[in-house]
């Protein structure tokens, strides 16, 4: 059976209205997309491992670019980092806002009694990392892309979430390896390429292993360190110049920071624990030059072992401090995790611990090296920070910033909801430009109102067209009051022949 539907087009006006609706819908879509794009803020988090808080002053001549950025942005006196002052615990605290006892990465090397397994800086098994939620996971879970360029934990699938953008897996981990590392310039090119995408990630992390390595080998007062810092400054200016060519540059908020500081020590200043405690009476959970995490072996009791170490504390005249896990001072936030052993031994800065089971080299006496991992309340353990970009105050010196507050701050800038954390946005909010929050909110409100108006206009136009079509299908002519100004001229010549479309 054939059905014939026909209707007459008396003028071109229906087509004009239809075209108008399509155009308005396109505008709505375009403006809405542009509103999302232009309101998006970006965060680039950059770590120079082992960059002490005072290097900017001490090595000013080697750091002209970072000095200028610091002068133009917000630079606190120092960052209060967390115990222990090591690479993995502090880098993970920066991106989670959690103390190590909460996020679980309590040292660079860890033993877990439940897993009955050990963790190293190479471990990417997610079960070790899942107690914390890094900002790239928070960002991805809320519908935004992230990119990680070698930040510790970058290649771990944390909480089941993969990261959108990563470096090639063939490269080594610069915080754990010395071979097959991606050159610094290539890391910058990779990150710049991410920001140059049509849908760039809103959060990007970028990690450099220096000046930590040079500081360890040559100390903090060496020409080698000055040269290393100059190289870092060169890569900084290359980064800034490369990003400045991009449209998104004016919306990138830079946070230059580090995990810990560094202090010189002489190898003659080592404390051999074997002199005070029987090596067979304890088991290492974590062995480090600045701390021991131990428990008793089967040959003794925990209480007896604790007494032996307290005797060692007395005999070293307090150069070491010995704590039961439950009695570690609250300021360290280092008691509430099963990976922290029963007894924790700390050492005074500029001294190092040694034991036959630990194996630290002491065969080169009177040699100066650099070390970290001491109490984070000792000044030389503090890292630096520079915050620069549209969200941050210019030429501002905010005093002291807590490393845990960076996570809620970054979440706030990215307009994402933070996971549970130990940080405080209120404590760090003062680094934001006074008008930034209001300006940002006004932009979003204006864009929202504009979008609503356009959508309502689209709906109204659609209704008008639908009524016109409906009336035509009903065989009724469409008439307008020609006394109205907008209809002073005919829509089409009166003598033009009617058009006819037949749809089968």
What residues are labeled active site?
Answer: 87
**Partners of residue 296 on adjacent β-strands:** 282
User: What's the token pair of residue 201?
Assistant: 């990630």
Residue 149 structure tokens: 């360029």
Number of H helices, E strands in the chain: 13, 19
Return the closest-CA partner of residue 368 out of 439, 454, 461, 268. Answer: 268
CA nearest 342: which of 359, 325, 354? 325
Euclidean distance between CA atoms 56 and 52, whole angstroms: 8
- Whether the Cβ atoms of residue 383 and residue 52 lie closer than 8 Å to each other: yes
> Cis (ω within 30 of 0) for the bond into 76?
no
Residues whose CB falls within 8 Å of the CB of residue 186, separated by 6 or more in sequence, listed in order: none
Q: In which element (H, E) is residue 407 found?
A: helix 406-414
Q: How far apart are CA 304 and CA 295, in angstroms?
A: 11
Element (H or E) spanning 258, and its range?
Answer: none
373: left (phi over 0), alpha (psi -120 to 50) or beta: left
DSSP state of 254: E
Alpha helices in 200-294 (DSSP H): 212-218, 223-244
CA–CA separation, 203 and 42 (whole Å): 6
* Bridge partners, residue 344, by sequence: 293, 323
Question: Which string of DSSP letters, residue by residue, matches 263-287?
Answer: EEEETT-EEEGGGTS-GGGEEEEEE
The gap between the terminal CA atoms of the chain, to the nearest Å, is 11
Does residue 195 contact residue 243 with C-beta atoms inside 8 Å? Answer: yes
Kindly report the number of other CB atoms within 10 A of residue 411's CB atom. Answer: 23
**259, 86 Cβ separation under 8 angstroms:** yes
């Amino acid at each position: 059976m054939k059905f014939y539907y026909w209707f007459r087009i008396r003028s071109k006006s229906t087509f004009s209205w239809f075209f108008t609706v399509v155009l308005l819908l396109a505008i709505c879509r375009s403006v809405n997309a542009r509103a999302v794009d232009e309101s998006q803020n970006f965060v680039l988090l950059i770590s120079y491992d082992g960059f002490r808080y005072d290097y900017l002053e001490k090595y000013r001549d080697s750091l002209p670019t970072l000095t200028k950025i610091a002068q133009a942005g917000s630079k606190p006196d120092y960052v209060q980092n967390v115990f222990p002052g090591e690479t993995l615990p502090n880098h993970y605290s920066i991106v989670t806002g959690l103390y190590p006892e909460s996020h679980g990465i309590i040292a660079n090397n860890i033993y877990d009694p439940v897993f009955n397994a050990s963790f190293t800086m190479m471990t990417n098994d997610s079960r070790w990392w899942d107690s914390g939620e890094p900002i790239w996971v928070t960002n991805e879970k809320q519908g935004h892309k992230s990119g990680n360029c070698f930040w510790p934990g970058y290649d771990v699938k944390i909480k089941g979430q993969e990261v959108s953008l990563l470096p090639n897996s063939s490269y080594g981990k610069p915080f754990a390896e010395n071979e097959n590392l991606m050159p610094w310039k290539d890391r910058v090119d990779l990150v710049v390429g991410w920001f140059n995408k049509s849908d760039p990630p809103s959060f990007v992390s970028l990690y450099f292993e220096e000046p930590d390595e040079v500081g360890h080998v040559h100390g903090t007062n060496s020409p080698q360190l000055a040269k290393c810092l100059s190289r870092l400054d060169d890569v900084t200016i290359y980064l800034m110049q490369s990003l400045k060519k991009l449209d998104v540059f004016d919306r990138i908020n830079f946070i230059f920071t580090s995990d810990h500081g560094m202090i010189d020590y002489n190898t003659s200043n080592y404390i051999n624990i074997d002199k005070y405690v029987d090596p067979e009476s304890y088991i290492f959970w974590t062995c480090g030059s600045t701390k021991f995490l131990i428990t008793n072996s089967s040959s003794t009791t925990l209480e007896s072992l604790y007494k032996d170490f307290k005797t060692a504390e007395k005999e070293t005249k307090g150069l070491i401090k010995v704590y039961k896990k439950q009695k570690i001072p609250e300021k360290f936030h280092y008691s509430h995790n099963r990976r922290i052993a029963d007894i924790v031994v700390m050492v005074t800065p500029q001294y190092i611990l040694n034991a036959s089971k630990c194996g630290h080299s002491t065969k080169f006496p009177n040699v100066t090296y650099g070390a970290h991992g001491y109490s984070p309340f000792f000044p030389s353990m503090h890292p630096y920070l520079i915050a620069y970009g549209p969200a941050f105050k210019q030429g501002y010196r905010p005093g002291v910033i807590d490393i845990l507050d960076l996570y809620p701050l970054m979440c706030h800038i990215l307009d994402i909801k933070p996971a549970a954390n130990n940080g405080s946005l209120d404590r760090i909010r003062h680094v934001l430009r006074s008008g930034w929050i209001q300006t940002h909110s006004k932009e979003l409100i204006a864009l929202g109102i504009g979008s609503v108006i356009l959508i309502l206009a689209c709906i109204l136009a659609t209704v008008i067209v639908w009524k016109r079509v409906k009336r035509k299908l009903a065989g009724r002519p469409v008439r307008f009051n020609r006394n109205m100004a907008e209809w002073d001229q005919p829509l089409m010549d009166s003598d033009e022949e009617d058009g006819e479309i037949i749809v089968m």
